[in-house]
C-alpha cells in the first residue's frame, strides 16, 4: 500500500501510535481509505507529534489507553470492538466501543530483521532496548564475522535518520577494509558521522528517554499534554512555541512543538526566516518581522507537514493560509469547501485561491485557501464540499 497506493480495504482501524502507525495512517488516507480510529494501549502517543497532528487535522480520532477486545468476522474482518484499559492494561468493563471496519492494521511490536546475520554465523544477543534478537557489533557496525557489517533496523530498532548515518559509518569502514580510502580520511569522516549521530540522539526522543514522560522541551517550554493524548496541540497551547508568530504580511507559522532531529526548514529558506541553529533537535524559530517571500519551500520541505504560510492581510476581512496538500484529486482555484482546525473539527467556510506544484516541492502540493481573518491561526486543513 505505502509503495504502490494499493488499497488494502476501505475502512481501517490502526493499532499503534508510534511513527509507523502514524505515518501509515496518513498513507492510508492518501490511498483513499477511511481511518476510523487510531488506537494505542499506551497512555501517550509514542511517535512524533508532527506526524500525529497531520493525521488528527484530517479528522481521525485518537483513542489512547485503549486496545482491541474483539475482531469480528469469519472469512474477513467486518468490525472491531475496542475498550479502555486500566493501569494494568486490562479492559475496563463498560468502556467498549464498536467500529464497522474491513481492515485492522497492527503497528506494534517492531522486531529487527536479523535472520540472515544469524544464518551467517554472526554472534547474536537478546537485547530488549534494541528490539530483540540482534547482532553484536562494534562502534562501526562490524559483527563477529570479519567484514560482515550490520546497520539500521537489522541491528536494532531506531529512528530512520540514525539508521542512515550508521549505514554510512559501516560503508566507510568496509571501504577502508577493501582499500578504497585511507585511514586518515576514514577517521575524519567517522568523527563527523559520530557527531551527527550524537546530535540525532539528543532531545526528548533520545534512547535514554524512551518510555519517559517529558514535560518540558529542551528550551524549557511546557510540552502540550493535549498533543500527547489527543494528537493535536490545543488552541490555548500553540502560541507558546517559538515558531508560532502573528505578523503583518505573509510569514511562516511552524507548529513543530517537540525536540525532534529535523532541520530542512532552516536549509530551505533562502531568506533565513527560520532558525534552528547547530542543534538539530532545537525548536525552529521564525524571524519577526519576517522577510518571507511566500515561496513555500519551507512548507514543502517539512515531512511532518507542520509549516503553514499565513497572511492575515490577504483581503479585507480575510486571511490566506497556505498548507501542504498530498491528496488526490487536487482541488482547483475557486473550489469551495470547509476549513478544519487542528483537531479535524470544521471551523469555517474556505475557498481555494491556488494550488501550486513544482519539482522543488518533491510531490507536495501547496494549497492556499481564503478564510475569515479570525480563523487565520486555527484553519489547518481543507475539505472540499
**Is residue 352 within 8 Å of residue 369, measured between CB atoms?**
yes
pLDDT of residue 321: 98
Domains of the chain in start order, with CATH, are 11-106 (3.50.50.60), 115-156+160-200 (3.50.50.60), 228-384 (no CATH)
Ranges of H-type helices in the chain: 19-30, 49-56, 115-119, 160-177, 183-200, 225-230, 264-268, 297-301
Residue 6 has pLDDT above 90, yes or no: no
Any idea what DSSP says for residue 142?
Answer: B
Give tens-digit pLDDT for 256-277.
Answer: 999 998 889 999 999 999 999 9
Q: Which pLDDT value is given to residue 211?
A: 80
What CA–CA distance (Å, rounded) separates 29 from 99? 17
pLDDT at residue 92 greater than cutoff 80? yes
What is the pLDDT averaged over residues 346-363? 96
Average pLDDT of every residue of the chain: 94
Averaged pLDDT for residues 51-75: 98
The cell numbers describing 113, all together, are 530483521
Helix (H, G, I), strand (E, B) or coil at 296: coil
Q: Which helix (H) or strand (E) holds 333?
A: none
Query: Is pLDDT of 280 > 90?
Result: no
Tens of pLDDT, residue by residue over 168-179, are 999 999 999 999
* pLDDT reading at 187 higher than 80: yes
Question: CA 303 to CA 364: how far, in whole Å?
Answer: 10
Q: Strands, DSSP E only, in 248-364?
A: 251-254, 274-275, 285-286, 307-315, 318-325, 336-340, 346-356
pLDDT in tens, 211-228: 889 999 999 999 999 999
Give the pLDDT score at 209: 83
The three three-digit cell numbers of residue 257, written as one number:
512543538
Over residues 125-144, the pLDDT tens digits come to 999 888 899 999 998 899 99
pLDDT in tens, 143-154: 999 999 999 889
* Mean pLDDT in residue range 23-39: 96
Over its C-alpha atoms, the chain yields an Rg (Å, rounded) of 23
Give me the mean pLDDT over the 60-81 stretch: 98
For residues 81 and 50, what is the distance between their CA atoms, to the nearest angstrom? 28
Length of the chain: 385
Amino acid at each position: 500500500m505505502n509503495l504502490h497506493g494499493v488499497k488494502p480495504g476501505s475502512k481501517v482501524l490502526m493499532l499503534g501510535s508510534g511513527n509507523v502507525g502514524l505515518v501509515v495512517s496518513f498513507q492510508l488516507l492518501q490511498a483513499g481509505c477511511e481511518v476510523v480510529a487510531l488506537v494505542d494501549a499506551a497512555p501517550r502517543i509514542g511517535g512524533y507529534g508532527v506526524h500525529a497532528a497531520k493525521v488528527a487535522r484530517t479528522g481521525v480520532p485518537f483513542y489512547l489507553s485503549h486496545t482491541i477486545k474483539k475482531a469480528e468476522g469469519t472469512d474477513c474482518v467486518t468490525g472491531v470492538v475496542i475498550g479502555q484499559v486500566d493501569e494494568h492494561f486490562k479492559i475496563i468493563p463498560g468502556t467498549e466501543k464498536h467500529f464497522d471496519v474491513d481492515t485492522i492494521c497492527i503497528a506494534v511490536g517492531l522486531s529487527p530483521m536479523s535472520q540472515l546475520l544469524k544464518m551467517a554465523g554472526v554472534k547474536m544477543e537478546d537485547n530488549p532496548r534494541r528490539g530483540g534478537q540482534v547482532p553484536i557489533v562494534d562502534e562501526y557496525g562490524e559483527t563477529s564475522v570479519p567484514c560482515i557489517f550490520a546497520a539500521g533496523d537489522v541491528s536494532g530498532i531506531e529512528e530512520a535518520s540514525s539508521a542512515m548515518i550508521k549505514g554510512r559509518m559501516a560503508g566507510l569502514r568496509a571501504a577502508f577494509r577493501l582499500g578504497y580510502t585511507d585511514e586518515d580520511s576514514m577517521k575524519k569522516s567517522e568523527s563527523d558521522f559520530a557527531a551527527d549521530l550524537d546530535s540525532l540522539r539528543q532531545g526528548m526522543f533520545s534512547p535514554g528517554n524512551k518510555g519517559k514522560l517529558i514535560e518540558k522541551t529542551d528550551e524549557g517550554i511546557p510540552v502540550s499534554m493535549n498533543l500527547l493524548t489527543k494528537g493535536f496541540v490545543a488552541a490555548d497551547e500553540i502560541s507558546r512555541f517559538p515558531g508560532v508568530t502573528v505578523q503583518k504580511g505573509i510569514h511562516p507559522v511552524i507548529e513543530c512543538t517537540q525536540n525532534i532531529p529535523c532541520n530542512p526548514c532552516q536549509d530551505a529558506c533562502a531568506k533565513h526566516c527560520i532558525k534552528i541553529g547547530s542543534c538539530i533537535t532545537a525548536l525552529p524559530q521564525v524571524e519577526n518581522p519576517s522577510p518571507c517571500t511566500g515561496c513555500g519551500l519551507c512548507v514543502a520541505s517539512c515531512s511532518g507537514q507542520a509549516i503553514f504560510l499565513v497572511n492575515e492581510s490577504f483581503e479585507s476581512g480575510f486571511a490566506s493560509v497556505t498548507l501542504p496538500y498530498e491528496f488526490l484529486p487536487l482541488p482547483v482555484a475557486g473550489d469551495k469547501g470547509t476549513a478544519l482546525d487542528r483537531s479535524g473539527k470544521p471551523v469555517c467556510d474556505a475557498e481555494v485561491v491556488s494550488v501550486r506544484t513544482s519539482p522543488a516541492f518533491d510531490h507536495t502540493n501547496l494549497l492556499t485557501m481564503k478564510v475569515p481573518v479570525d480563523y487565520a491561526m486555527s484553519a489547518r486543513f481543507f475539505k472540499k464540499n
